[in-house]
């Protein structure tokens, strides 16, 4: 009797099981085509196999099994997370303009491939990777006959840490660090990603947090399998490439069916031509009426030349507006210079200018009672001070006298 291969059911208990995922992580060094890649195959029913694969060598047998989706997992140090306040109506092709203001690699004109992770309550979360590196990794896989269905930064598989904790995962010679800021005004704190060398001491702000390490140092393959188990189902998709020359779209109907539809298509074409003709006639009539109305409107004003006094008045208004802007800028610089000698413990957290109002905020946690009282007394002489347990706010009226009086 011939035994047939046993295939595990894709449904268990009325719930569809997720498809297996083949995770591939390239080396961290850019454009290194000789270094091996790490891979693992995740399935909900078996222990995940894994290993290394060097481009140019034959593919492992696990790569050739059908039914799985291929995921390109980007090294931690190759991606950047942006959490920005997005204006209403922001389009996808405007993301690079918004991100360019926050990139720390000024002077680097290399474009980024951006993908949206979340967009809630006006906060847009994007992840970016250098386009040339992503295309180089995709080309390496294409030469091997692999086509990834999605890509994901390694940080997307890192669990969220508890409150006031620092989640750390071993990733080769680096730590994958993830933490959240404290929540403000019932809004969740911002999430941060950081790849940090393991042989370097942490910054003081991170060293004070509770250390949370959900995975022991068991090697890079164990870390890749751990990240794969925590990756979300929805991942960024590769950008669609240009269509191959000579490729044709397959029609959903046969040639015989197409012949049966020809008479109806001819009737539809005739009706469309009649509608187009009627629309052109109506449009020509509308254009004639509109041109006549424009001529009548122009005749009312052509005989009345523009007054030189009006032009002079507009010029004077513009000069006055520019002078007001220069005066406001000088007063802003004057107030900032007056506050430049504050103690280092007084950390400035907010600087906002709206119209003729300038608002500054400090965090009073690191100040003693005496230093806080001295700071409050000094700020009272500059404007209106608002004191809360978590922030000390100064509001200055820039329209007042330049020597800085108390804001009414």
CA distance 310 to 353: 33
Residue 261: partners with Cβ closer than 8 Å, 6 or more residues away: 253
104 and 222 together in one domain: yes
Q: Where are the alpha helices (DSSP H) in 90-145?
A: 95-100, 131-143
Q: In this predicted structure, what is the pLDDT of residue 299? A: 66
Number of structural domains the chain divides into: 2
CA distance 202 to 219: 22
Strands 11-12 and 384-387: unpaired
220 and 101 together in one domain: yes
What mean pLDDT, rounded, does the chain reach? 79
Residue 129's SS3 state is strand
Question: pLDDT-based confidence at 260, cuts 50/70/90?
Answer: low
Q: In this predicted structure, what is the pLDDT of residue 240? A: 64
Report which of 172, 165, 173, 149 is spatially closest to residue 231, judged by C-alpha positions.
149
CATH number assigned to the domain comprising residue 134: 3.30.420.380
Strands 384-387 and 392-397: antiparallel
Q: In this predicted structure, what is the pLDDT of residue 241? A: 54
Kindly state the average pLDDT of the residues 253-262: 51
108 and 223 together in one domain: yes
Within 10 angstroms of residue 321's Cβ, the number of other Cβ atoms is 10
89 and 220 together in one domain: yes
173 assigned to some structural domain: no
90 and 222 together in one domain: yes
Question: 85 - beta bridge partners?
Answer: 123
Q: In this predicted structure, what is the pLDDT of residue 4? A: 31
Kindly state the average pLDDT of the residues 389-398: 84
Which of residues 201, 230, 259 is at a domain's end? 230
206 assigned to some structural domain: no
Task: Supply 217's token pair.
Answer: 């140092």
90 assigned to some structural domain: yes
Kindly state the average pLDDT of the residues 80-87: 84
Q: In this predicted structure, what is the pLDDT of residue 284? A: 81
Q: In this predicted structure, what is the pLDDT of residue 327? A: 85
226 and 341 together in one domain: no
Q: In this predicted structure, what is the pLDDT of residue 307? A: 63
Residue 54: partners with Cβ closer than 8 Å, 6 or more residues away: 34, 35, 36, 37
| H or E element at residue 264 | helix 262-302
Residue 153: partners with Cβ closer than 8 Å, 6 or more residues away: 73, 74, 76, 78, 79, 81, 127, 129, 193
Which of residues 177, 201, 230 is at a domain's end? 230
Within 10 angstroms of residue 147's Cβ, the number of other Cβ atoms is 10
Which of residues 170, 203, 230 is at a domain's end? 230
84 assigned to some structural domain: yes
Task: Supply 370's token pair.
Answer: 């005496």
220 and 355 together in one domain: no
Residue 246's SS3 state is coil
267 assigned to some structural domain: no
78 and 225 together in one domain: yes
Within 10 angstroms of residue 127's Cβ, the number of other Cβ atoms is 22
Supply the range of the domain harboring residue 95: 21-158+216-230
CA 6 to mean position of chain CA atoms: 44
Cα 116 to Cα 81, 137, 144, 396, distances in angstroms: 10, 20, 29, 38
Kindly state the average pLDDT of the residues 187-191: 75
The answer to whether residue 152 scores a pLDDT higher than 90 is yes
Residue 67's SS3 state is coil
Question: 53 - beta bridge partners?
Answer: 37
CATH number assigned to the domain comprising residue 339: 3.30.1360.100
Task: Supply 322's token pair.
Answer: 């520019």
Report which of 69, 93, 90, 95 is spatially closest to residue 80, judged by C-alpha positions.
95
201 assigned to some structural domain: no
Least confident of 109-123, 128-142, 342-356: 342-356
pLDDT tens digits for 1-59? 333 333 344 444 444 556 888 999 999 887 778 889 999 988 766 667 888 899 888 88
Q: What percent of the chain has pLDDT over 70?
A: 80
Q: Tell me, what DSSP letter sits at residue 184?
A: B
Kindly state the average pLDDT of the residues 169-181: 91
91 assigned to some structural domain: yes
Kindly state the average pLDDT of the residues 320-343: 81
Residue 223: partners with Cβ closer than 8 Å, 6 or more residues away: 169, 170, 171, 215
354 assigned to some structural domain: yes
Angle at 69 between CA 67 and CA 75, to 5 degrees: 150
CA distance 167 to 213: 6
DSSP 324-384: HHHHHHHHHHHHHHHTTTS-TTSEEEEEEEETTEEEEEEE-TTS-HHHHHHHHHHHHTTSE
Q: In this predicted structure, what is the pLDDT of residue 73? A: 94
Q: What percent of the chain has pLDDT over 90?
A: 19
State residue 23 phi and psi, 5-degree precision: -95, 130
């Amino acid at each position: 009797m011939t035994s047939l291969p046993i295939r595990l059911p894709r449904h268990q208990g009325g719930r569809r099981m997720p498809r297996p995922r083949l995770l591939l992580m390239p080396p961290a060094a850019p454009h290194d085509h000789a270094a091996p890649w790490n891979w693992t195959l995740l399935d909900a029913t078996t222990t995940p196999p894994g290993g290394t694969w060097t481009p140019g060598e034959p593919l492992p047998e696990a790569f050739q099994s059908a039914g799985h989706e291929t995921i390109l997992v980007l090294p931690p140090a190759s991606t950047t997370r942006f959490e920005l306040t997005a204006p209403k109506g922001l389009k996808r092709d405007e993301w690079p303009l918004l991100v360019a203001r926050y990139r720390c690699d000024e002077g680097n004109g290399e474009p980024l491939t951006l993908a949206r992770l979340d967009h809630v309550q006006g906060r847009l979360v994007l992840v970016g990777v250098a386009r040339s590196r992503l295309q180089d990794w995709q080309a390496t896989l294409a030469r091997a006959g692999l086509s990834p269905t999605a890509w994901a930064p390694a940080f997307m598989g890192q669990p969220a840490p508890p409150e006031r904790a620092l989640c750390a995962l071993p990733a080769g010679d680096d730590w994958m660090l993830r933490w959240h800021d404290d929540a403000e005004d019932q809004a969740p704190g911002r999430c941060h990603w950081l790849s940090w060398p393991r042989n370097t001491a942490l910054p003081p702000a991170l060293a004070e947090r509770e250390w949370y390490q959900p995975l022991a140092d068991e090697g890079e393959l164990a870390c890749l399998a751990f990240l794969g188990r925590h990756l979300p189902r929805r991942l960024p998709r590769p950008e669609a490439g240009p269509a191959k020359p000579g490729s044709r779209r397959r029609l959903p109907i046969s040639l015989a069916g197409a012949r049966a539809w020809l008479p109806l298509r001819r009737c539809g074409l005739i009706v469309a031509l009649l509608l187009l003709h009627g629309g052109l006639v109506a449009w020509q009539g509308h254009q004639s009426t509109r041109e006549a109305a424009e001529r009548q409107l122009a005749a009312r004003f052509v005989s009345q030349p523009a007054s030189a006094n009006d032009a002079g008045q507009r010029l004077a208004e513009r000069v006055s507006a520019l002078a007001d802007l220069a005066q406001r800028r000088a007063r802003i610089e004057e107030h900032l210079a007056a506050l430049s000698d504050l103690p280092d413990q007084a950390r400035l957290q907010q600087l906002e200018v709206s119209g003729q109002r300038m608002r500054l905020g400090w965090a009073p946690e690191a100040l003693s009672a005496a230093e806080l009282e001295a700071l409050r007394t000094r700020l009272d002489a500059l404007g209106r001070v608002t004191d809360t347990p978590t922030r000390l706010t100064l509001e200055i009226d820039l329209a007042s006298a330049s020597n800085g009086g108390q804001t009414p």
